[in-house]
A and B are shown apart, each in its own frame.
Chain A
Amino acid sequence: MRRLLNLQPRRPLRLALFLAPVAAMLVTYLAFSDARLAENPQDRLLPAFSTMGDTLLRMATEPDRRSGDLLFWLDTGVSLQRLALGVGLGALTALMLGVASGLIPLAGASLSPLLAIIAMVPPLAILPILLIAFGVGELAKVMLIAIGVAPFIARELEGRVRELPREQLIKAQTLGAGTWLTLWYVVLPQILPRLFDAVRLSLGAAWLFLIAAEAIASTEGLGYRIFLMRRYLAMDLILPYVAWMTGLAWFLDYALRVLNRRLFPWYGAEAGR
């Protein structure tokens, strides 16, 4: 018998091991759902998959009676826009702060400790301040996401810039580059793929801030909808919405990974230096 830590599952077994827990969860859900529905067909807590499908289809294809909007697509569009604006704004700010702080010691002397402190502020705790400062419109929600992810990304990039070999910075100077040209031609191009990675890692937090902001002050959006429907115990809508958001989050992560590989083919292949 080989040791457990040396046993490698082959392809069919690997697939089975992945599917087994998923199937177990689905079967468990179905069993409990069926049991509850058999007792009370009106039960809302564990709706059947067909009910969830019907609800989702209705949200996606039938215009809302009051506004005439296709609510599912409206929610998705609005939420993704907030997420993109917030993460984009945060990433751009973080890129400038992180690179300045990491490359230029004079800038780092003031930015580095400041970022360390700001990163400790719980973003949700300043949501009331944002709502007061920017109103309950789009700006407050975008700002919450931006402020939520920027310090993390900035500190990450600062560290990455400092990790660039000292030799490269000296080399750039012997090749005629000053501070600005070194930043533009040596540091920035090497930091961009790391920015993509940092954004990917911060997406989880960005979703959290998005849903929190929508739950508190909004009139549409994925997060708004599930918190609205909570009042009606509408699990037939909440569960597919959660699944949809999970899918979107996974896709964004995947897209960023692919984009990073395409745009920066040299990235990750530096090991042989």
Chain B
Amino acid sequence: MSALTLKNVGMRYGDTVVLERLNLILDSGTFCAVVGASGAGKSTFLKLLLSELQPTEGSITLGGRPLPQEPGPERGVVYQRYSVFPHLTALENVCFGLERTEGSALFGRTWGAKRRALRTEARDLLEAVGLTAAADRFPGALSGGMQQRLALAQTLALKPELLLLDEPFGALDPGNKQAAHALLQALWAERGMTVVMVTHDLSEAFTLGTRVLVLDKVREDPHSPERFGASITYDLPVDRSAPPGAASLPPVS
């Protein structure tokens, strides 16, 4: 089953073409890592998937339906920064999505037994990311790695069809990064989510991804670099059963 489909998607701002002719069929449960040089349109790609931007050409479908025009709970996102709300404790951050979606449109919160059930669910999620002890602390008092784990828990609470990650571990030191990788991989394996992760870290892409996409310009006009946008130049399935370093595959046309 295909979770995410891009058909001939392009994005241009005025005369500047950022992305062009993106074609992609992503199977459900794929961990897709997107790499590319700075300015290759990685962020734009993610914004398209979030509906923060609308593609100027082509179409995107999610689970067979056209992608909604606005961000919604069917997609979750973890950014490199500003992913959690600074004014809410860790527990409240995880409850945020549950309360907003379970509550009425007017109050956006729950009371009584339902509220207690949501809190229990949120505590379980905090435990899954190893933040039980930090439940009542504000993000400002958490380390960078803890904040990103919290952001994961917050996003996973709503079980999104598609999890989008924008350089989620880019600001972490190597030790924390490795721990976060292990956690993310475990959560992904357990839940079988479809993930699209944008990163500039090649080793991260190949460590986590089951499929690695490379965004780059296919055509280049030295006199007007804005004329052509980036496209998917490499599409590499990563074989998890093979020993590391075995992935060497020809480019797709």
List the interface of chain A (C-beta within 8 A of B).
165, 167-168, 170-178, 180-181, 184-186, 189-190, 264-267, 269-273
Contact = CB atoms under 8 A, between A and B. Distances in A.
A272 B76 contact: no
Nearest to A178: B105
B36 interface: no
Given A175-B96, A176-B100, A165 B81 contact: yes
B163 to A, nearest CB: 10
Nearest to A188: B87
Given A173-B71, A174-B75, A270 B108 contact: no
Given A190-B87, A265-B138, A176 B97 contact: yes
A269 B79 contact: no
A224 B190 CA distance: 74
B76 A273 contact: no
A272 B139 CA distance: 8
B83 A171 contact: yes
B199 interface: no
Nearest to B109: A185
Given A174-B71, A273-B82, A266 B77 contact: no
Contact of B77 (A174, A176, A270, A272): A174
Interface string B68-104: 0011110111010111111100000000110011000
Given A174-B71, A190-B86, A273-B86, A180 B100 contact: no
Contacts of A170: 50, 52, 71, 77
14 contacts: A167-B82, A171-B85, A173-B72, A174-B72, A175-B97, A176-B73, A176-B97, A176-B100, A176-B101, A181-B108, A185-B96, A265-B138, A266-B139, A273-B147
Nearest to B76: A174
B158 interface: yes
Contacts of A174: 50, 71-73, 75-77, 97, 155, 158, 160
Interface of B is mostly: loop
Q: How large is the interface on B (under 10, 10 to 19, 20 to 34, 35 or more residues)?
A: 35 or more
B105 to A, nearest CB: 7
Nearest to A181: B108
A165 B100 contact: no
Contacts of B77: 170-171, 174
B144 interface: yes
Residue from the set B76, B83, B84, B85 with the largest chain A CB neighbour count within 10 Å: B85
B108 A264 contact: no
> What 7 pairs between A and B have smallest CB-CB spacing?
A269-B140, A175-B97, A176-B101, A165-B82, A173-B71, A176-B100, A181-B108
Interface string B155-175: 100101000000000000000
B100 A273 contact: no
B50 A269 contact: no
B138 A266 contact: yes
A168 B85 contact: yes
B67 to A, nearest CB: 13
Given A171-B85, A175-B73, A270-B139, 11 more contacts: A171-B77, A175-B96, A176-B72, A176-B73, A176-B97, A177-B96, A177-B108, A180-B108, A265-B138, A269-B140, A272-B144
B53 to A, nearest CB: 11
A173 B85 CA distance: 13
A175 B50 CA distance: 12
Given A174-B155, A181-B108, A273-B140, A189 B81 contact: no
A173 B147 CA distance: 19
A177 B86 contact: no
B129 to A, nearest CB: 16
Contact of A272 (B52, B75, B83, B140): B140
Contacts of B85: 168, 171, 186, 190
A167 B166 CA distance: 11
B152 to A, nearest CB: 13
B87 to A, nearest CB: 5
Given A177-B100, A272-B144, A266 B87 contact: yes
B96 A273 contact: no
B218 interface: no
A248 to B, nearest CB: 31
Contacts of B106: 180
A177 B101 CA distance: 7
Contact of A167 (B81, B144, B154): B81
Contact of A180 (B105, B144, B147): B105
B142 interface: yes
B70 A270 contact: no
A212 to B, nearest CB: 38
B25 interface: no
A272 B150 CA distance: 14
B141 interface: yes
Given A175-B158, A176-B73, A273-B147, A266 B82 contact: no
